[in-house]
Amino acid sequence: MESKLEFNTHTPEGITTLFADVILPLPLPKLYTYRVPHDLNDKVSVGARAIVQFGKKKVLTSIIAAIHQQPPALYEAKYILDLLDEEPLMNSQQLKLYEWMSQYYMCNLGEVINAALPSGLKLNSESRIQLNPDYNNNLMAFTGQEEMIIQTLLVKESLSYNEAAHILGLKSINPIIKSLLAKERIILYEEIREKYVPKKIKKLKLSQEYNNKVKLEALFKELEKKPKQTEVLLRYLQQVPVFNNPALNKAGLERISFINLLESASAYNTLFKKNVFEEFELIVPRFGEGEETKFKDIKLTDAQEKAKTEILDSFKSKETVLLHGITGSGKTEVFIELIKNALDGGSQVLYLLPEIALTTQIVQRLRKVFGNKMGVYHSKFSDNERVDIWKGLISGKLSFIVGVRSSIFLPFDNLGLIIIDEEHETSYKQYDPAPRYHARDTSLMLAKLHNAKTVLGSATPSIESYYNAITERWGLVKLSKRFGDAELPEIILADTRKERRNKTMRNDFSGLLVNEIKSALERKEQAILFQNRRGYSPYISCEDCAYIPKCQNCDVSLTLHMYSQDLRCHYCGHTQAPPINCPACGSGRIKSVGFGTEKIEEDIKLFIPEANVQRMDLDTTRKKNSYENIIGDFEKGKTNILVGTQMVSKGLDFDKVSLVGIFDADRMIHFPDFRSHERAFQMMTQVSGRAGRKAKKGRVIIQTADTEQALLKKVISNDYEGLYKDEIAERENFLYPPFCRIIKLTFKDIDRKKVHQGAQGLSELLKERLGGRRILGPEAPLIDRLRNYYLMDIFIKIEKDISLKAVKFSVGQTIQTFLSDKDYKNSYIQADVDPV
C-alpha cells in the first residue's frame, strides 16, 4: 500500500513534522507511533480517532494518546491514513484513567479502550463497503472519485477501507466514503448493524393550509356526516388547541400515540390523504424522553438531614465517605440532595448502581427529580443509546449519569461527585474479558483525577470498605433508623432438620414457611421467596448407579430446566435433552436433586393453588423489558408471590411485602471462600430488607438445618459490627484483604497435562522471584474445566507495604518469559487483580 500512496515526505520550511502515539484496539503491550501528514497538522488532537494501517493487512481505528515531534527510534513511522474526529472523542482525564486501569489491572491499553468505547464509535478492521442493494436511483450526482469506487464495486462486490484508498491513490478517503453513504449508494457492512443511527420519531400536525380558524370551521361543516373523521379532528384540537394559538401546531403530536387514541385509524388516514394532516420526522436523543416533571419536593427527615450534613462536613477533610445506612433508611434521598448540590455548583455527577439494581424504581425516582439532565447507561441498552449518552455528555446536554460499572469510561470532564450505591455488590467487578476491573475501586481513581468527592452507600458494606472507614482513611456516616415508622423485620429460623424428623416438610418448604405464606396472602399481602440458584434442580442423578450428567465442555453438572425441558450448563450455555434412561446403566429411575427457582415456583403452585406466582431470574429476564414487567406486575398486585435469585434482593421497595422466605442459607454460609460469611450476611440482610416497609413490621423466615450458627444470630440481630469484628480478625490472622493484596493467575490450556505442568512451573518461577511464602498453589479451582479449557489457579499474596507496581512488573515479565516457551504457545495466563 505504501508504494502506491505517494506522500510528500519532504518537509517544507517552517512546517513541523508531528508524530502521534496511538492506542490500537488490540491486546498489545505498547503504543505505536505514526506520522501525521502535514495537512492534518491543524486537525489532529489527542483523544481523537485516527485510522491507521497495522501490519500488512489490517486497517484499524485507533485513539491518539499523544502528539509530539519525536520519530520512533526502532522503525520507520507509517502515516496516519485518516482522522475520524476533529473534536476529541475522549479527554485527557479519560486517557489517564484508562492508562491507570491497564497498569493496575495488568492488561493492555487496547483492551481497556475496547471495553470503554461503545461499538458504534469503533470502526473495526473488517468493515467493508459494498453497493447498497436498496439503492433507489435518487438522481444524485457522483464525483469522479465516487464513480471509480462504484465501478469497482460493480465488479468486485466489496472492498475494504484500504483497498478503496488504494484504488484512488488517496490517503484520506473518509470524506468520499461518507458522501457515498449519505447518497445511499453504498453500505458499510459488519458496521451497518452496529453503526450509530439517530433515533427518529414520526410526528403529525395540521398542514399549513388547514392551520387557521376559517379553514377548520369550514372543514367541520364538511365533515358533519363523517363522525369518525370529526373525532380525529377534535382529538387533535383537544391536545393542540390551535384555535387559541396557531403556533402550537408546529410541534405537532407523536404519530403512534395519537393513532392509539383514535377509534379509527383509517379515518385519520383519509384526512391525511386529503392533506388536512401532514407528517414529519424528528430526531430525538434517546435519553431525553421523560419531561422534567418537578415532583413534589421530598423533605429530608431529621436523621437524613443530619447524615447529609455529616457527609458534607466529612468532605472538608476527606475525599471519600461511607454511608452505612440500614435497608429502608432512605439513603437515596440523601444522595439526591448531595447530587442537587453538586449539579447546582456546576459540576457533573456519576451515580453508580450494580447491574441488577439499576431498576425502574430508582431510575424513575431520579428521573422525576433530575429530568433531562440525567442520562442512563445500562448494559441492556443498545449501542445507539450508549453513543447518545456519550455524545450527550460531551455536548453538555447531560450532566448527570446513572449507570452500571461501564459508565466509569464515559467522557466526564468536570466530575464533582461520584455516588456508589450498594458498594458491596460483586457485580461491580468485571470478570471477563480484560480489563478485570472493579468499578468501585476504579471510580476512586476517577474521582482523584477530577478532584471529585465520593460517597459509597450500603446497608452491608464490604469488609474492605468498612475497614477504610474505621481506620479513618474515609469518613463514616451512619443512618440507623428506617424511614417513617417502619421497623426492621422480625427474622425467624425454620429448623428444617427438626421438620424433616417430624415430617412437616413439604418438598423443600418448611411447614412454617408454607403457613406464613398462606396467612400473608389471606391478609392480602405479598411475599418474596429467595433461592440463589436458577433452574429446576442443580443436577439429576441415577438412583441405581448414581450417574450424574455433566457438561461436555466444563467440569460441572448440568442443571435441569423444566420450563424449557432441557439440561443446561450455566457456564458455557451447552444444552441437551434430559435422558429418559440412565446412559450408564440403563435404569429408568432418574431423580432430580436439589432445587432452584423453577422448582420453588412449581411447588408453591402445588401447595397454594390460589397464589399468583412469578419468577425473576436470569432465565425470565433476558429480554429488554421483562425485568420491568415482572416488577410492574408485582407492584400493581397482579402477582402476590415473587420467586427469585439475588435479583430480588436489591433496591426494590414494595409496600405490600410482609414476608420474605430464604432457602438454602446453609449453602451460602458454607461456600468454600474466605468471603462466604460476609456474602451470606449481605445476601440475607439485603433480601430481608424487602420485608415490611411503611408502618408495618415484616417477617423473614430463614430455612436452615443448623439453627445454632453464629452467623445466623448476627443476621437476626442485624449485627453488622459483630460480623465486621469477626471477619476482620480472621482476615488479619490468615492474611487476606484488606491486609494484603491478591493477584490471581489462571493458567489455561486445552491440554490437561500442559496445564498441570505449566502451572507448576510458573508457580516455581514466581516463588523464586517473589519468595515462596507469597505464592499459593497451583490449585484446581472449584470448576477446573470450562469451555474445554483446563484451569489451574495460582494466588499471589502481597503485603500492604510492598510496592504493588514492582510486583506486577515482575509478574508480567515472568508470564512473558514463560509464554515465550514454544511448549506453551497455546496456553493462556490470565491475571485478575483484587479478585472477588
Which residues contribute to the site for ligand ADP (CB under 6 A)?
Answer: 298-301, 304, 325, 327-333, 483, 653
Q: How far is the CB of 477 from ligand ADP (least distance, A)?
A: 13
For ligand ADP, the closer of residues 208 and 480 by Cβ is: 480
331 binds, among ligand ADP, Zn ion, none (CB under 5 to 8 A by kind): ligand ADP
Q: According to the binding rule CB under 5 A, does residue 545 interact with Zn ion?
A: yes
572 binds, among ligand ADP, Zn ion, none (CB under 5 to 8 A by kind): Zn ion
Q: How far is the CB of 781 from Zn ion (least distance, A)?
A: 14
Buried b (16+ CB within 10 A) or exposed e, 800-809: eeeeeeebbe
553 binds, among Zn ion, ligand ADP, none (CB under 5 to 8 A by kind): Zn ion
Binding test (CB under 5 A) with Zn ion, winner from 235, 518, 574, 769:
574
For Zn ion, the closer of residues 386 and 570 by Cβ is: 570
Q: How far is the CB of 561 from ligand ADP (least distance, A)?
A: 33
Q: Which helix (H) or strand (E) holds 542?
A: strand 539-542
Enumerate the H helices of 576-675 as residue ranges.
597-607, 626-636, 665-669
551 binds, among ligand ADP, Zn ion, none (CB under 5 to 8 A by kind): Zn ion
Q: How far is the CB of 802 from Zn ion (least distance, A)?
A: 38
Q: According to the binding rule CB under 5 A, does residue 815 interact with Zn ion?
A: no
For ligand ADP, the closer of residues 337 and 601 by Cβ is: 337
The x, y and z cell numbers of residue 287, run together, are 435519553
For Zn ion, the closer of residues 387 and 554 by Cβ is: 554
Whole-angstrom distance between the N-terminal and C-terminal Cα of the chain? 48
**Chain length of the chain:** 836
Q: According to the binding rule CB under 5 A, does residue 572 interact with Zn ion?
A: yes
333 binds, among Zn ion, ligand ADP, none (CB under 5 to 8 A by kind): ligand ADP
Q: How far is the CB of 333 from ligand ADP (least distance, A)?
A: 4
**Locus of grid cell 429418559:** 580
**Locus of grid cell 517552517:** 14
For residue 540, give the 3-state DSSP assignment.
strand
Whether residue 711 contacts residue 719, with contact meaning beta carbons closer than 8 Å, is answered with no
Number of residues that bind Zn ion (CB under 5 A): 15
Q: How far is the CB of 538 from Zn ion (least distance, A)?
A: 14
* Strands of 199-206's sheet in order across: 253-254, 199-206, 277-284
Whether residue 180 contacts residue 187, with contact meaning beta carbons closer than 8 Å, is answered with no
Separation in Å, CA 83 to CA 21, 86, 387:
14, 7, 19
For Zn ion, the closer of residues 502 and 581 by Cβ is: 581
**DSSP-assigned letter for residue 585:** T
Q: According to the binding rule CB under 5 A, does residue 558 interact with Zn ion?
A: no
Q: How far is the CB of 567 from Zn ion (least distance, A)?
A: 11
Cβ partners under 8 Å of residue 657, min gap 6: 525, 526, 527, 528, 690, 691, 692, 693, 698
Q: What span, in angstroms and rounded, lies between the C-alpha atoms of 180 and 776?
A: 59
165 binds, among ligand ADP, Zn ion, none (CB under 5 to 8 A by kind): none
825 binds, among ligand ADP, Zn ion, none (CB under 5 to 8 A by kind): none
Q: According to the binding rule CB under 5 A, does residue 593 interact with Zn ion?
A: no
474 binds, among Zn ion, ligand ADP, none (CB under 5 to 8 A by kind): none
Q: What span, in angstroms and rounded, lies between the C-alpha atoms of 490 and 717?
A: 9
Whether residue 516 contacts residue 661, with contact meaning beta carbons closer than 8 Å, is answered with yes
Q: How far is the CB of 459 from ligand ADP (least distance, A)?
A: 6
**Locus of grid cell 461499538:** 119
Facing residues of 186 across strands? 131
For Zn ion, the closer of residues 202 and 787 by Cβ is: 787
R_g of the chain computed on alpha carbons: 31
Q: According to the binding rule CB under 5 A, does residue 539 interact with Zn ion?
A: no
Whether residue 390 contacts residue 440, with contact meaning beta carbons closer than 8 Å, is answered with no
For ligand ADP, the closer of residues 28 and 300 by Cβ is: 300
Give residues in contact with Zn ion (CB under 5 A).
542, 544-545, 547, 551, 553-554, 569, 571-572, 574, 582, 584-585, 587
